[in-house]
Structure 1
Amino acid sequence: MAKSISWSAVMASAKVVLARSSKPTDEEIDELIRDFDEIVPIAKQQVEEFTGLLVPPGEVSFKVLSREEWLEANLDSYKYLISKATSKGNLDLTVPGSDVVSGAGLGVVMGWMATRVLGQYDLLLQNGRENGSGSLYFVAPNLIELERRFGFQKRQFRHWVALHELTHRAQFEGVPWFRCYFSSLVDEMLEIAQPSPTEMVEAFSKAARRLVAGEPLLDETGLAGIFMSDRQRIVMEKTTALMSIAEGHGDWVMDRAGRDVVPEAWQFSRTLSHRRSSSQGAAKIMQSLLGLEAKMNQYARGERFIEEVERKAPGSSRLVWTSPESIPTKEEFSDVSLWLNRMGALASSVM
C-alpha cells in the first residue's frame, strides 16, 4: 500500500520557516479586521458592477488569518488532493522514509508561501462541492509587513487586495461552469499523477538532452515539469490558459474597479511586480523551482489579453465567461483578433 505524506513533518519544517518571520501587534490586526469589515461589502459591489458577474446575494464572509492559520487551512486541501491521488494508486511513496522527506520538502514550500500570500479565495475542494461558495482569506502579517516596507496607504492597499480576491469569488460563484470545469481539470491531473516507468526514463532523457544542449532545465512548469507526461502537459496547458484568464482578469479588475477609492492602485501594482521580478537568493530559487516566475508571466499575459480585447472591442472581455470553449487558445493569447473573430465580437462591442 502506498504511503502518504508525513503531515507532522510538513508542519515541523513549515514552522521552522515561519519562525523567522515578523509578527504584527494585536492592535494592528484589530485595525486590519475593522478595515476589512467596511471594505469587503463595498469591494464586492464594485466588482459585480464592473465585471457584470453576479454571485448569490448575501454578505461575504471572510477570515483574517495568521500565517500559521493560513498554512493549516491550506493543508486541508493538500491532504485531500494527495489522499485522492494515493487512493487511485497514482501516487506512490513506498520508498522507506520518503513520506517524511516529502513532508519536509512540502513544508518548506508551504512555509515560504505562507510568508508571501496576501489574500486567497479558497475553493474548499475537499468539501466535494461542484457549486457553492468558497472561503475568503486575508493574511494579516504579510499585508501589514508590505504596508510598512513600502509605505503603502493602508486603507487603499487593503481595498486593492480585496478587489482581487472578490473578483476570483465572482468568477467561481458567478460563472455557472467555472468551478466545475476547474475541478474537472484537477481531477484529470490526479488521474494521471503517477508517471509510468517508461515515462520516467523518457523524462530523465529529456532533462539530459536539455542540459547537453545548454538549455534551461526548468521550463514554465517548474520542477514538476521534468516528470510530466505528454498527457499531463495537455491538461496543464488547459489549466494554465484558464488560470491566466482568471488571474489576468483579477489583476485587470483590481487596478480599475475601485479607481475612485484606490487612486494608488497603479503604484501598488508596479511596486509588487518589481518586488517579484527582483527577488534574489532563496526567494529566487523557490520561484524557479515552483515555476512561479513563469506563472506570473502567464498571468500578465492574461491581463494583457483582457486589456487588448477591451481596447479593440469594449465590453467583449465578458465573453470569456460564456463557456469553457471561450477560453482563448495559446495562439489567441498572442493574437487577440483571432479570439475576437471566433467569438464574433469585432463587428460590435458587447454592452
Structure 2
Amino acid sequence: MSRDSLSVGRAVDWDFAATIGAKLARPGPATTGYTRNQVIDQLAEASRSAELPVREVTGLNEGGEIPEARIVDRQQWVRAATRSMRVMTGGGDDDAKPGSISGRITGAQTGAVLAFVSSGILGQYDPFAGGQEPGGQLLLVYPNVIAVERQLRVQPYDFRLWVCLHEVTHRVQFRANPWLAEHMSRALGVLTEESSDDIAQVVSRLADFVRRRRDPDDAASEPNSGGMVGLLRAVQSPPQQEALDQLLVLGTLLEGHADHVMDAVGPAVVPSVATIRRRFDERRQRKQPPLQRVVRALLGFDAKLSQYTRGKAFVDAVVAKVGMAQFNTIWTGPETLPLPTEIDEPQRWIDRVL
C-alpha cells in the first residue's frame, strides 16, 4: 500500500479528533476505587489466563510469550483508536496537520463517532497499535465491562474471563498469522483512495442500487447489499467494492471464529458460561429506541451483529465437518480465505480449498 495513494488519512486532523472524542465520551458507570482497581487487575489476569486455552482449541500458536493487555477507560480507548485509524488510513505521527477548517471538521466528526462507539466496545485487538512497526495490542475497556456485567446480572469474574476469551482469540489470530494485518491494510488502502470516477458513473450506480432494493429477490440474494453497506458500495469504484467485500468477509470470519472459540473454551474455564451467553445474546437482539437504531444503522452495528451470526455458523459448520486442524488451512493466505459467496455456503469453501 502506497501512502501517497491515500487521501483519508491526510484529510483528518487526528489530534483534534482525539481531543473531541475524549471530551464527548460519556463517563463510565459510578464505581468505587476498590471496584475499579479490582476489575482492572482481573481483566489483566483474565487476558493472560485465556491465552493458553485459546491456543489449545484453535491450534494456533503465536509464540511462547503471552503479551500483556492494556486496560483502558473510554477516553483512552478513543485516543488509541485515533492513532490506529491514522495508521490504517495512511497517516503517520510525522505528517503535518491538515491545518484547514475541513481537516478540523472531519476530525470533529470522527471524534464524535468514536465517542459514541466508546460506550459500547468491551475490547479490541488493534493490529496497527505499533504504528508503522509490526505488532499490535489488546485493549480492554473496563468501564464498559462493568456496565454490561451489571446490566446482565452475571458473575463478574466469569464475565470478564468470557470477554477476554473472545478478544484474546483475535490477538492469537493476528499474531499467529502476521499476513492478516497486511491484507487488511492493503484492502483499506484501496478503500480510502480517491475515486477517479466521474459523477455520472456514481449516479448510475446509485440508481442501480435503488432499483435492486425495490426488487425483493435481488435484495435477498445479496446479504451485504442493504443499509449503509449497500449505499457505500453504490458510490464506489469496482476495485473499492472488491476491497470492501474482502474486509467484510475477513471481519465475518474473524468474529465468527472468535465466537466459536469462546463457546468451545467456555464450559471448561467459565462455570456460568451458559447463562452469560444466553443473556448476552438476548441483549444483542433487544429492540433499541428509534434514534439509537438509526445511529446504530449508520455506524454499521447491525452489519456487525450479522458478522457474528453468519461467521460463527460458517466456522461451526466447517469445524464440525473437517475438524479444526483442516479448518486452519483458512489462515494460509488471502487465497484461502472464504469468498463472499462461501460464507453462507461452507461446503463451497471446503470443495474449493480442501
TM-score category of the 2 structures, normalised to the smaller one: 0.7 to 0.9
What's 2:323 paired with? 314
Residue of 38, 41, 44 corresponding to 2:48: 41
Q: Is the 8 A contact 1:222 1:291 kept in 2?
A: no
Structure 2 unaligned blocks of 5 or more: 1-6, 220-224
What is the TM-score normalised by the length of structure 2?
0.82
Query: Take 1:26 and 1:321, find their aligned partners in 2: how far apart are those partners?
Result: 43
1:281-302 CA-to-partner distances (Å, cap 9, x unmatched) read 3331122112220232123111
Q: Structure 1: how far apart are the matches of 2:277 and 2:70?
A: 24
Please point out which of 148, 159, 162 is paired with 2:161: 159
Segment of structure 1 superposing worse, 111-120 or 10-19 = 10-19
Q: Which residues of 2 match residues 116-131 of structure 1 at below 5 A?
A: 116-124=120-128, 127-129=131-133
1:186 and 1:314 mapped to 2: Cα distance?
32
Query: Within 1, Cα distance between the matches of 2:16 and 2:245?
Result: 32
Counterpart CA distance in 1 for 2:293 and 2:136 is 31
> Which of residues 28, 31, 37 is equivalent to 1:30?
37
| Structure 2 match to 1:90 | none
Task: Determine whether 1:107 maps to 2:108.
Answer: no
Mind listing any 5+ residue stretches in structure 1 that lack a counterpart? 88-92, 345-351
Alignment partner of 1:227 is 2:235: yes
Match of 2:222 in 1: none
* Counterpart-to-counterpart distance in 1, 2:298 and 2:196: 19
CA-CA distance at 1:223 after TM superposition: 5.7
* Counterpart residue type for residue 235 of structure 1: A
Contact 2:318 2:350 in 1 (8 A): yes
Show the 5 A alignment for 1:28-107.
28-82=35-89, 84=91, 97-107=101-111
Aligned equivalents of 1:208 and 1:238: distance in 2? 23
TM-aligned CA distance change 1:342 to 1:109, over 3 Å: same
Superimposed CA distance per residue, residues 26-49 of structure 1 (whole angstroms, 9 cap, x where no aligned partner): 222210122123322221011111
The answer to whether the 8 Å contact 1:222/1:292 transfers is no
Report the alpha carbon displacement of residue 184 of structure 1 after superposing the two structures with TM: 1.9
Give 1:18 shift: 2.2
**Shift in alpha-carbon separation, 1:193–1:41, aligned structure 2, 3 A:** farther
Deviations 1:48-84 (A, max 9, x none): 1110110122132111101000001111122334554
- Paired residues for 1:208-227 under 5 Å: 209=211, 219=227, 221=229, 224-227=232-235
> 149-158 or 100-109: which moved more?
100-109
Contact 2:169 2:258 in 1 (8 A): yes
Contact kept, 8 Å, 1:47 with 1:167, in 2: the verdict is: yes
User: How many residue pairs end up in the alignment?
Assistant: 335
Assess if the C-alpha contact under 8 Å between 1:218 and 1:288 holds in 2.
Answer: no
Q: Does 1:264 align with 2:272?
A: yes
Contact 1:12 1:107 in 2 (8 A): yes
Residues 178-203 of structure 1: CA deviation (Å, up to 9, x unaligned):
22222222222233567643444335
- The alpha carbon displacement at 1:8 in A equals 6.3
User: How far apart are the structure 2 equivalents of 1:281 and 1:181?
Assistant: 37
Is the 1:76–1:126 Cα contact (8 Å) retained in structure 2? no
